[in-house]
Structure 1
Amino acid sequence: MATMKVKFRASSIPTKEGTLFYQVVHGRVARQVNTGYKVYPCEWDSVHAEIVFPPGIGYNRGNYLASLKEILYGNTKRFKNIIARLERTGENYTAGDVLKRYLTPSDGEGFISFAREVIRQMGQIGKPRTAERYTVVTRSFERFCGENDVFLDEVDSDLMVRYENFLKAAGVCPNTTSYYMRGLRAIYNRAVEKELTVQRYPFRHVYTGIDKTVKRAVPLNIIRQIRDLDLTLSPATDLARDVFMFSFYTRGMSFIDMAFLKKKDLQNGILSYRRQKTGQQLSIKWERPMQEIIDKYDIKDTPYLLPIIRNMEVDARKQYKNAAHLVNDKLRRLGEQLGLAIPLTTYVARHGWASIARSKNIPLPIISEAMGHNSEKTTRIYLASLDTSAVDKANSQILKAL
């Protein structure tokens, strides 16, 4: 029967970290694979083949070692499961076969390979945002797994708890951790639906809720200050500011919705669009500050209302993503110049509009309607008797206050 151990190879330089690797021995033949992790000699007990915590270790390093210890435990468990499977077949196998199954699951589909297939399918059926989300969460999980995939039937509660601890040790905030977990859960449930694995409820002991986030609103005087800046010598920053202000003028419209606004969406003084996130249809009374921004830019050769997607021969979504990165980078730098306590992004315009609306004693139902609230429960409460005239009046009040 094959055996597996975690080994440590010290660096040729005593002050540097050494390498951890897995060694499988079967039939007097040894095969090795790098774990992708490194530790200092004082952090490894060669006798017991385990992580140790030297005296005086710092908090962050301690968290890293604790997380690494759990990862090594989980991967050791995987190796033992693979060896047990091979033994049950009664067929001859080699140490190389053990490593091959560890690196590329063949006894059933691997979770990461399954996730990649789901991502490909989402792209094919016209769901690019879902594909992008699944890509982000899968890449995070891949960083946790190192170079290895995991069997679908090995995705259990213990694995997800170790992954959560890995994220905590990396300083990932609870909301981002929850975002990753919910994305992985959606992928896992697809595998269950296809009967590729049984439902083990692997996410029942990890956080999948939403914490209250730090406030990202700025007061009216800061909005006014941003609006009045002379940025003629920096066209890219000027555009970023205009996008920020357009979001504010339009009740906190998201960047993706602004990017895909088309000229035909503006009819008879009403801007109508459907939110990319929720599919909800919203209408906004066209105001003078909005038109002033549109008048600044040459958009005659595109069907779009704002100068975000400019080249009709280049993928629109790729242009949107590049522009989002550039705009938020310029806004962040602008916020630093203004000495703001929070990073300035387009999302601050949305928070700012809501906060200022509330300070103007505009009723919460009107604010919720204006922003296209995504909660079904809130939507049922708020959308029962509101009409767009009340929302437009609220927006006019805020714009006139500038």
Structure 2
Amino acid sequence: MASVKVKFRASSVADREGRLYYQIMHNRVTRQINSGHKLLPSEWAALRAGLLRPDCKPRHAYLVALKSRIAEDIARLECIISRLEHTGESYTAGDVVARYLTPSDAGGFFSFARSLVGQLRQIGKIRTGERYTTVLNSFERFRRNTEVSWDEMDSDLMIEYETYLKSRGVCPNTSSYYMRGLRAIYNRAVEKKMTVQRDPFKYVYTGIGKTVKRAVPLKVIRQIRDLDLALFSAMDFARDIFMFSFYTRGMSFIDMAYLKKKDLQNGILSYRRQKTGQQLFVKWEKPMQEIVDKYDTNATPYLLPVIRDMHADARRQYKNAAHLVNDKLKKLGERLGLDIPLTSYVARHGWASIAKDRNIPLAIISEAMGHDSEKTTRIYLASLDTSAVDKANSRILKAL
């Protein structure tokens, strides 16, 4: 296995800076790489001995930064050697030098990430691949479609990216979503020894803040149900999807999209949640059947007309339909004068909130929502309803 050493070549002129270089040795053959760093012989001695005194200003800061840079260069060289060893093929010291000096555009972050997405798709991890693609698209817009070398992937770049996202009105949770996706890709690269761990995400927000979930009361659900949308077929379909979700205790759009006719047997609709894999059973009711009867799905095995073409990609059809439905629901909500954006998920929020208002036991709501525990349901309901707190605040203000 090749070895790496840091060497110093003193200047032939007294009191002049010498040069640092890296020595690569493999199979008794030696090659050198000019580090580009200069320092005095006394500084080299102090650096080797680890004696960097704070009183050697103004050179102390430079020497501390130089020590860190040398460590990064050595780590990068060791990564290159490790990758060459991993191939199992023979290589030379010159190969190590060539890889170190070659611009990393062909093997940078984006190149690795796109390759990773392709691998995920091949093994059936479609949703993870889609998530990484969304994250990469945003990061590439920031970089104006230019490759990011592994040396550039540091905390400064991530701070710049976070600032870029803020300047475009991206909310903290979305920014965190992008950062966590990039971090996951980066950590995979570290595992594969494509780069060294520089903790580029340590100064950016990667948490998950509490989002405000809004529900609508039963009165609004009735208004949505009773709207005459005969002249607006796309909006009518979006309304039907919303109501079907409400009728089925807040079924998510992806679960509705993949419902099959065989899932409905003997008056019971059974399905597994795409998110958790949990199996749920719903008693089939008349309003559910009325929605199904409105649409012709004879050419497909699906219960609802979301995935219509059996020769096209099912997931793409689902995603396109989800975008269309939520766009039309937003317009429908504006038409009703709602103070919140109407989406398919509001049906789920609404069902849970209305169930709570009707004093349905927490255990029943938890089972209906497909939550893994009542604690999850309690947190979920608390995020939907702040009326008790609002009433308390009103009473205090009136007492002033």
Tell me the TM-score range normalised by the shorter chain: 0.5 to 0.7
- Give 1:216's aligned residue: 214
Distance, in Å, in 1 between the alignment partners of 2:371 and 2:175 is 23
Residue number in structure 2 paired with 1:342? 340
3-state SS of paired residue (1:272): strand
2:294 matched to which residue of 1? 296
Residue 287 of structure 1 and its aligned partner are, at CA, apart by 1.7
> Which consecutive segments of 4 or more residues in structure 1 shift more than 6 A?
374-377
The 1-side partners of 2:142 and 2:374 are apart by 34
Q: Give the AA of the match of 2:241.
A: V
Tell me the SS of whatever aligns to 2:205. Answer: coil
Deviation at 1:376, TM superposition (A): 11
C-alpha displacement of 1:153: 4.1
CA distance in 1 between counterparts of 2:373 and 2:173 reads 17
- Give SS of 2:145's match: coil
Is the Cα contact below 8 Å between 1:231 and 1:237 reproduced in 2?
yes
Q: Which residue of 2 aligns with 1:124?
A: 122
Of 152, 164, 185 in structure 2, the residue corresponding to residue 154 of structure 1 is: 152
Counterpart CA distance in 2 for 1:173 and 1:347 is 19
Seen in structure 2, the aligned counterparts of structure 1 residues 360 and 336 have a Cα distance that, compared at 3 Å, is: same
Supply the distance in 1 between the matched residues of 2:321 and 2:289 (Cα, whole angstroms). Answer: 21
Mapping for residues 40-55 of structure 1, pairs under 5 Å? none
SS at match of 1:123: helix
Secondary structure in 2 matching 1:105: helix
Q: How much has 1:363 moved relative to structure 2?
A: 3.2
**Residues of 2 paired with 1:123 and 1:176: CA distance?**
24
Distance in 1 between residues matched to 2:200 and 2:374, nearest whole Å: 27
Residue 105 (structure 1) aligned with residue 105 (structure 2): yes
Partner secondary structure for residue 348 of structure 1: helix
- Show the counterpart of 1:355: 353
1: CA distance, partners of 2:374 / 2:362: 16
* TM-score, reference length from structure 2: 0.66
State the match for 1:309 in structure 2. 307
1:104-157 per-residue CA deviation (whole Å, 9 max, x = no partner) reads 525xx3111111111111111112211111100011111222232212343222
Q: Distance in 1 between matches of 2:336 and 2:174?
A: 28
Give the aligned partner of residue 285 of structure 1. Answer: 283
- TM-superposed CA distance for 1:375, in Å, is 8.2
CA contact (8 A) 1:255 1:346 kept: yes
Structure 2 letter corresponding to 1:318: R
Distance 1:169 1:264 in 2: 49
Residues 333 and 341 of structure 2 are in contact (CA less than 8 Å); yes or no, is this contact kept in structure 1? yes
Secondary structure of 1:324's match? helix
1:252 paired with 2:250, answer: yes
Contact 2:366 2:374 in 1 (8 A): no
Alignment of 1:234-253 (within 5 A): 234-253=232-251
Secondary structure of the 1:273 match is strand
Report how far residue 267 of structure 1 moved: 1.7
Q: Distance in 1 between matches of 2:276 and 2:159?
A: 31
Does the 8 Å CA contact 1:178/1:210 hold for their aligned counterparts? yes
What is the CA–CA distance in structure 2 between the aligned matches of 1:332 and 1:235, rounded to whole Å?
15
Q: Which residue of 1 aligns with 2:49?
A: none
Which residue number corresponds to residue 395 of structure 2?
A: none
Q: Deviations over 1:190-243 (max 9, x none)?
A: 112212122233223222222222333111100010001111222221111000
Q: Residue 283 of structure 1: SS of its match in structure 2?
A: strand
* 8 Å Cα contact 1:153/1:198 also seen in 2: no
Post-superposition shift, 1:324? 1.2
The match for 1:225 is 223
Name stretches of at least 5 consecutive residues in structure 2 with no aligned partner: 1-68, 77-92, 95-100, 381-400
1:247-287 CA deviation, whole Å, 9 max, x = no partner? 11111111111111001111222211111122222222222
Identity of aligned residues (%): 74
Q: Could you report, residue by residue, the CA deviation over 1:312-353 in whole angstroms, capped at 9, with x for unpaired residues?
A: 122211211221121112111111111111111111111111
Mapped contact 1:335–1:344 kept (Cα < 8 A): yes
d(CA) in 2 for partners of 1:171 and 1:299?
Answer: 41
For 1:133, the equivalent position in structure 2 comes to 131
Alpha-carbon offset, residue 360 of structure 1? 1.7
| Alignment correspondent of 1:371 | 369
CA contact (8 A) 1:278 1:374 kept: no
Letter in structure 1 aligned against 2:261: K
Aligned length: 289
2:266 maps to 268
What amino acid sits opposite 2:338 in the alignment? Answer: L
Partner of 1:26: none
- Give the letter for the 2:305 counterpart: P
Cα gap change, 1:226 to 1:377, in 2 (>3 Å): closer
State the shift of 1:175 in Å: 1.1
Task: Look up the equivalent residue of 2:322 and give its one-letter code.
Answer: A
Which is greater in Rg? 2
Looking at structure 2, the residues matched to 289 and 311 of structure 1 have their Cα atoms a distance apart, in angstroms, of: 26
Q: Counterpart amino acid of 1:362?
A: I
| Cα RMSD after superposing both structures | 3.1
The verdict on how the C-alpha distance between 1:374 and 1:320 changes in structure 2, with shifts beyond 3 A counting, is farther
Question: Would the aligned equivalents of 1:357 and 1:367 in 2 still touch at CA under 8 Å?
Answer: yes
CA contact (8 A) 1:160 1:206 kept: yes
